[in-house]
Structure formats: structure tokens, C-alpha cells
Amino acid sequence: METTQDLHNAIFLITKANNLLAQARDLLEQSQNSNLKCIILDLQAAFLEIKDLLINSKESLIDLQAEVMNFKQENDFLKKELTTLKSEIISLQLENVNIQEENYSLTEESNALKKRIKQLQQPKPNKSDKHSPKSVLQPKKQLHMYAGLYFDKNGDGPMCNICYQNRGKIVECLVDRTKPRFWGSDSFFKCPECNTLYEKDLRL
């Protein structure tokens, strides 16, 4: 705004100087001094050109000020948009944290349920059922081998040779119903843990 005012003042002074030159020209016409008259006319023309240039500069400056004002308004708008975007990003980050916490809780619950299901699916020992696995027998209980298979002192079995010899674990084998039966008796047994298949010699 100050620059515009300065241009306005300069135009005013040039106009005033041009008027003074016109008065000087009138005086020279009365004195019939042609050389001085030409000089004053040239000065008057030069002042007019400078005046036109200043007017154009003033108009250009006004346009430039308008552009600067528009740019400032756009900049203020972009600042507001940026502030809004930052707030949205913070909200999304908080929401992401909440989702991660929920996923963690769901994962913990899922693992607990899987563990519980696995516990429920484990077979329980039943002494009344000869074909149920006895995987919870006393670790110190001694087994006796008969016809290449392990049995306990009560004749229950056969027990898995591999589980007993390699891991010291007593696991009673189940009757394998997929295999044929001979002489009306079960002859094939399978370990429920290591899936080892055993054949009982029914001739002994």
C-alpha cells in the first residue's frame, strides 16, 4: 500500500511539473526564444512519458497486490486443510492402535480357546474300555514283554514299544479296525500318539 501511495505522489508531482513547463512555454512564446522553447517542449514530452510509465507501473503494482492477496488467501486455506488432515491422521493412528489392541485380545482369546479345545480332545484313560489308550499310567510302572509286545502285570496292552523305549512313556495301543481279524480276535494295534502299527501273534 505504501508503494502505491508513493507512485500516486510521483504522478501528482510530474503532473504539476508538466503544468509548470506549460506555463514556461507560454512565457517563451511571448519572448520568441525558439531554442529554449524546444528544450521545454522536449522536457514536457519526457515528463509525459514518465507519467505514462508511472501510471502503468501503478496498475501493474495493483494487479500484483491483488495476486499477492489471492495467494495469501489460498495459503491460509491450505494451512487450515493441513491442520484438518493432521487431526484426521492422529485420529486414524489412535483408531489403528485400538484395532491392534483388539486384535491382540482376540488372538489371546483364540489361543486360549484352542488350548482348551486341545485339552478336551485328549483321550481320557478308562479301565473299563480295553481299547482306550492308557497314556496316564505310572511312569515307574514296569512292563513285561510277551510275543514281542509290552503288557502290564494285569495283562492290559499291548503298549507302544517305541514310546516306552525311547521316551519312557506308557501308551496303550488301540485296535486298528481297518485291518482284518483272524480267528475272531483282534490282531492289529496302533499307537494313538506315534501311529506305530503292531501285529499280535495269536498263535501264542
DSSP state string for 62-100: HHHHHHHHHHHHHHHHHHHHHHHHHHHHHHHHHHHHHHH
Residue-wise pLDDT tens digits, 100-146: 988 988 888 888 888 888 877 766 555 444 444 444 444 456 788 88
- What would the mean pLDDT of 32-54 be, rounded to a whole number? 74
- State residue 158's pLDDT score: 87
Give the distance, in angstroms, between the CA of residue 74 and the centroid of all CA atoms in the same chain: 31
Three-class DSSP category at 192? coil
Q: What is the pTM of this model?
A: 0.34
Query: How large is the average pLDDT for residues 55-71?
Result: 85
pLDDT for 123 equals 64
| CA dist., res. 94 & res. 114, Å (int) | 30
Listed by start position, the domains of the chain span 2-118, 144-199
Q: pLDDT per residue over 168-192, tens digit each?
A: 888 888 887 776 665 445 678 889 9
